A and B are shown apart, each in its own frame.
Chain A
Amino acid sequence: NAGVTQTPKFQVLKTGQSMTLQCAQDMNHEYMSWYRQDPGMGLRLIHYSVGAGITDQGEVPNGYNVSRSTTEDFPLRLLSAAPSQTSVYFCASRPGGGLNIQYFGAGTRLSVL
């Protein structure tokens, strides 16, 4: 039962570098999301997808890009990393329909120096 798998678990970047956080789910869920978690601020939605080929912005999308070419994968790209993007990133998925229960990956801890 893999569920939602995120890689890497930890990453250190220098300002201006780019990288991709990977997220894969094996539950055939339609919906996938990316959140960031900062101290004292809960989880904030970055981008989400309601199916392959369909993505939209969440609450804090600036500096991040996403695409969804398959049902299983939903990578998050940082084009030019900034110290303000130091955070813990969580990917989540849920099935389509009325239930809003999202299932989370273990997270990626990112530090931008």
Chain B
Amino acid sequence: EDKVVQSPLSLVVHEGDTVTLNCSYEVTNFRSLLWYKQEKKAPTFLFMLTSSGIEKKSGRLSSILDKKELFSILNITATQTGDSAVYLCAIAGGTSYGKLTFGQGTILTVHP
């Protein structure tokens, strides 16, 4: 059974801080790992990672995958109050459909 564990479960920081969110996984036939940001409503896509060691970057957010150690990290630099959200990690494995298995999420709160 595929499994995703995120840590920490919650995090409170001040604007300008840098945060690192962790995601470890167990999966049969790994296909990809995805990060989503969820504010009040629907999860919105951030990154998809398929290869080890290749950093994906979008503005102040970046992510990297280690397929040997079975984990990924999501970094956010110079945090802003708008970064406050739940960050979800998911893996796609198994059949060609690539069903997503999600972690519990990390609740990030950024104070002014």
Q: Which residues of A contact B41 (CB under 8 A)?
A: 106-107
Q: Is A100 in contact with B45, judged by CB distance below 8 angstroms?
A: no
Q: Say yes or no: is B88 at the interface (Cβ < 8 Å to chain A).
A: yes
What 3 A-B pairs have minimum CB-CB distances, sorted nearest first?
A: A42-B102, A100-B92, A100-B98
Nearest-neighbour CB distance to chain B for A111, whole angstroms, equals 17
Q: Which residues of A contact B27 (CB under 8 A)?
A: none
CB neighbors of B among A46-87 (8 A): 48, 50, 58-59
Known pairs A42-B4, A105-B42, A107-B42; A100 contacts B32 (CB<8 A)? yes
Closest chain A CB from B26 CB (angstroms)? 15
Residues of chain A having any CB pair with chain B under 8 Å: 4, 31, 33, 35, 40-45, 48, 50, 58-59, 90, 98-107
Where chain B touches its partner, the secondary structure class is: strand
- Having A59-B101, A106-B42, A107-B42, one finds 9 other A-B pairs with CB under 8 Å, namely A33-B100, A40-B104, A43-B88, A43-B100, A100-B98, A100-B100, A101-B48, A105-B42, A106-B41
* Interface hits, B67-110 → A, CB 8 Å: 88, 90, 92, 97-105
Whole-angstrom distance from the CB of A5 to the nearest CB of chain B? 11
Nearest to B2 among chain A residues (CB) is A59
Any A CB within 8 A of the CB of B65: no
Q: Are A42 and B43 in contact (CB under 8 A)?
A: no
Cα A113 to Cα B51 with chains together (Å): 46
Q: List 30 A-B contacts (CB under 8 A).
A: A31-B97, A33-B99, A40-B9, A42-B4, A42-B102, A42-B105, A43-B43, A43-B88, A43-B90, A43-B102, A45-B99, A45-B100, A48-B97, A48-B99, A50-B97, A59-B101, A90-B43, A98-B31, A100-B32, A100-B48, A100-B92, A100-B98, A101-B34, A101-B48, A102-B100, A104-B42, A106-B41, A106-B42, A107-B41, A107-B42
Tell me whether A103 and B32 are in contact in the complex, defined as CB-CB below 8 angstroms, given that A40-B104, A42-B4, A42-B88 are known contacts: no
Measured CB to CB, the closest approach of chain A to B77, in angstroms, equals 24
